[in-house]
A and B are shown apart, each in its own frame.
Chain A
């Protein structure tokens, strides 16, 4: 492209400084929002991960045998390591399970660990001072150290069964007393093996490869844990397996927030659309104003390609500058959001992570799309005939478009309404409500030019008497330039639609979060572990005063041996070992399900009955009345249960057990004694004290895998997430409103400049500046009011229909404030947006213009 074309393009661009600045600002808002959302949520996700790792240790599985007996051989350890997805595996030795602690007046709990990264992730054995023990060395808990006046380097003697006293040197001190009654002694694994004569590992810690997809991760975890279970039951031992994913699954506000991410991405994409809108409107306006110049260029011999090039140069400049501004402002906004979230809402976010690759993509695609948007106005320029250089009258809008608007639009609206009515009466699929709603919105949008004409008529008849000629002139002018006015009206409509949608989403999100919390935590406090824990904990809990509690047993590893379908998928494997004992009629953890076949009567279950979830029934191939044979690997016995019923559930928490029988059967036939869950309701006691006591109980390393979930805490975290979403939503709506205002501002500024002569004439024949200002304000206000009304009607209708589709039509009352606000505030927006144009017009000198041709 000719260098001179570039020079001219840049000069054109730079000619209208004030308005160019505002346009760039407006366009940048879309990029700003996308950038901010991208940064904030990447940072949140990374923070969450980092915190998880920090709090719970950077590993994925911790497993140990709870009963004495054979351990895992090196060969078996290697087999485990070979499972796909496993990055590292380290053995642990607990030499004396369930033995009474000995030595000192305090008790001491021995652990043998390898000096490895993984071992260091185990928080209970974290060595804070000194170093990891070598052979003949030991690291001790701080309590033990202080009570026996030990320091690093002290020499002590400890006694080991079958060995007697052994001389040791203290090499390090653990970081905390992770439990009250016991001290912990950490030794080198290999050395401890020699000393105790136990050659096999009694526990392992494992970490998966970090960048696995969700599916692969699940697969790896399942394979791993299933292998361990198999081996454990072969050996006749119980094994506790703790997978880190479960702990803290709902323990953080950021997790709730992560659920909103797709919605927020959708919102920010909408802002990009608004930005493109404003690029096109800005370019069209600048082309209109430079009509004569472009025609002159045509006349002088500039060809169509060069003219298009001029337009594209301008759109390129707008898009590059706006994108850069948007990125910079977006980074700034992220900082603001971070500060607000951290200080006001205590969301844990460590640092903002600004990764240049995704931002680079945002920038490049933003520039590309917005530059390309210039092609639309560029086409109009090519069609300019050189005679335009002579003409002084501006072209008015086509009559042809009116036909489309006048015929297509009402038809579309009527059809949509018809669809809605039919859906209601004939009970079609509820999604058709939404389809009708969308059709209605599109119809209103296409109808705007006709509505503008209608408003002209209206004002000529009625408002005239109140406001005088001004309103007549204003409305006629709007009609003369319907397509440009329509653009402004459309922008406002879009704003209100998004505002309504956003608010509905916000309320839906709030309701959903509350529901999730309530259904997942029907009780005040939950002690939970999927791996299971000793019933002794329940006994201890039972001693607390002022509470009610219920205990629930773990599942059993009960192999289904007569499944009609043979399949080795994950679900299959899970199904054949997920037998759970519970009273379905009263178990509040399993909520919101419906019985699709048979029944779930507890007495039926107690008499060798079993209930399957629909997916288990599908996967295994059973139906009501079938006989399911289970084999207990511990005893070798076979138990037959009959399928009593099949259920389909919407919230089945924590790993989805698939088969349910009564606790009595579990205890009788499968020797299940371990607990999975204790639900506690605080009745007369003090919640704080109860929590404190419970936390104390959980410091026993035996209950290391038990998580305490406090419902109030969860509720609060859920609400924090909703608030954060609300903030981002608010910012989005504000952004898009500003963009709509800028579109209107550009429109009035351009309209005033193009009608300069007419305005001068009015001043000449005696119109005061004040009235002139009111004329221009009237135009802006009429456009914005129409936009507000159209948006309110369309937005309200769509929202209502969407609510009907999901079955909560009464929810529309939530929107009443927004809808009323839109109608009332839209004239104000028009006032503000046209103010500068009006002021400019009033400032101009009259003469000179009037004698020009």
Chain B
């Protein structure tokens, strides 16, 4: 199967603290349809890794291929377009657009990609259905609970049929129940939709649901367990 993500010896430092390596020679690989979890404590560098993998943070050293493209060749608007077509993001703080309703939030990436309106509407409703929120499609984020917002965010991430979903502590701000529901959605997407997911968390319990578990400690990434590669 094709590798959706290929990272080779990525190193990263904060400009203000050049002595401190946030990422040290990180290499990893994610296959299509894989559910990979990166586990680490706060401050281990896992969030930075996700930002680098998601092309939001420019690469300082090493190489990164996403969907066969070496993303270091892309800049600014090119990167933006790449992200739009190929990546979907789910953040710890949901980061929905407050001035748009749930369905409008889900439609947003499709509109940015200039999808015809009718198609966008259809797909958005489908996606909200998928995450179990078709009843709340016209609600604004301020009217939704944390768990509901996160599910809308997941639907949004799926809008343009991305090659990969990147999730940064998606359950970090949720209570146990909501966290369960959200994780269930991820599992569903993985099992039934064959969506490739890379999820970063400090919660070890999530690992049970994943195919591959990577451990991040003080900037060093190591493979902990891999179902796919057994």
Instruction: Please say whether the chains A and B touch (CB closer than 8 A).
Output: yes
Question: Which residues of A pack against B, CB within 8 Å?
Answer: 393, 465, 468-469, 472-473, 476-477, 480, 757-758, 761-771, 846-847, 850-851, 853
Q: With contacts A847-B57, A850-B51 known, is A758 near B80, CB below 8 A? A: no
Q: Is B104 an interface residue (CB 8 A)?
A: yes
Q: Are B168 and A761 in contact (CB under 8 A)?
A: no
In whole angstroms, how far apart are the Cα atoms of A675 and B80 in the complex?
Answer: 92
Task: Name the distance in Å between B91's Cβ and chain A's nearest Cβ.
Answer: 6
In whole angstroms, how far apart are the Cα atoms of A744 and B222 in the complex?
Answer: 52
Q: Which residues of A contact B87 (CB under 8 A)?
A: 766
Q: Are A766 and B93 in contact (CB under 8 A)?
A: no
Q: Which residues of A contact B99 (CB under 8 A)?
A: 472-473, 476-477, 480
In whole angstroms, how far apart are the Cα atoms of A462 and B20 in the complex?
Answer: 53
Interface size of B by CB at 8 A reads 38
Question: Which residues of B pack against A, CB within 8 Å?
Answer: 47, 51, 54, 56-57, 76-77, 80-85, 87-89, 91-93, 95-100, 104, 107-109, 111-113, 117, 142, 156-157, 160, 168
Pairs A–B under 8 Å by Cβ, sample size 16? A469-B104, A472-B104, A473-B97, A477-B99, A480-B99, A761-B95, A764-B83, A765-B88, A765-B112, A766-B85, A766-B109, A767-B80, A767-B112, A768-B77, A850-B56, A850-B168
Q: Which residues of B contact A472 (CB under 8 A)?
A: 99-100, 104
Q: Which residues of A contact B83 (CB under 8 A)?
A: 764-766
Q: Are A850 and B91 in contact (CB under 8 A)?
A: yes
Q: Are B111 and A469 in contact (CB under 8 A)?
A: yes
Chain A to chain B: the 4 pairs with minimum beta-carbon distance, closest first: A766-B84, A476-B99, A761-B95, A766-B83
Q: Are A851 and B97 in contact (CB under 8 A)?
A: no
Interface centre among B54, B84, B93, B117 (most CB of A within 10 A): B93
Q: Are B77 and A769 in contact (CB under 8 A)?
A: yes
In whole angstroms, how far apart are the Cα atoms of A477 and B98 in the complex?
Answer: 9
A393-B142, A480-B99, A766-B109 are known contacts; what are 6 more A-B pairs with Cβ within 8 Å? A469-B112, A757-B95, A758-B98, A766-B80, A766-B112, A768-B81
In whole angstroms, how far apart are the Cα atoms of A758 and B104 in the complex?
Answer: 15
Q: Are A764 and B77 in contact (CB under 8 A)?
A: no
> Which residue of A is nearest B159, CB measured?
A765
In whole angstroms, how far apart are the Cα atoms of A476 and B99 in the complex?
Answer: 6
Q: Are A763 and B104 in contact (CB under 8 A)?
A: no
Task: Name the distance in Å between A5's Cβ and chain B's nearest Cβ.
Answer: 31
Say which residue of A758, A764, A768 sits within 8 Å of B89 (CB atoms): A764
Q: With contacts A846-B56, A850-B51, A853-B93 known, is A765 near B81, CB below 8 A? A: no
Q: Which residues of A contact B100 (CB under 8 A)?
A: 469, 472-473, 476
In whole angstroms, how far apart are the Cα atoms of A477 and B195 in the complex?
Answer: 34
Q: With contacts A469-B108, A473-B97, A847-B57 known, is A769 near B51, CB below 8 A? A: no
Task: Name the distance in Å between A819's Cβ and chain B's nearest Cβ.
Answer: 33
Q: Are B95 and A769 in contact (CB under 8 A)?
A: no
Q: With contacts A766-B80, A767-B112, A847-B57 known, is A469 near B107, CB below 8 A? A: yes
Say which residue of B80, B93, B97 sits within 8 Å of A768 (CB atoms): B80
Q: Are B56 and A765 in contact (CB under 8 A)?
A: no
Q: Which residues of A contact B51 (CB under 8 A)?
A: 847, 850-851
Task: Name the distance in Å between A397's Cβ and chain B's nearest Cβ.
Answer: 13
Q: Which residues of B contact A473 (CB under 8 A)?
A: 97, 99-100
Task: Name the distance in Å between A250's Cβ and chain B's nearest Cβ.
Answer: 64
Q: Are A765 and B111 in contact (CB under 8 A)?
A: no
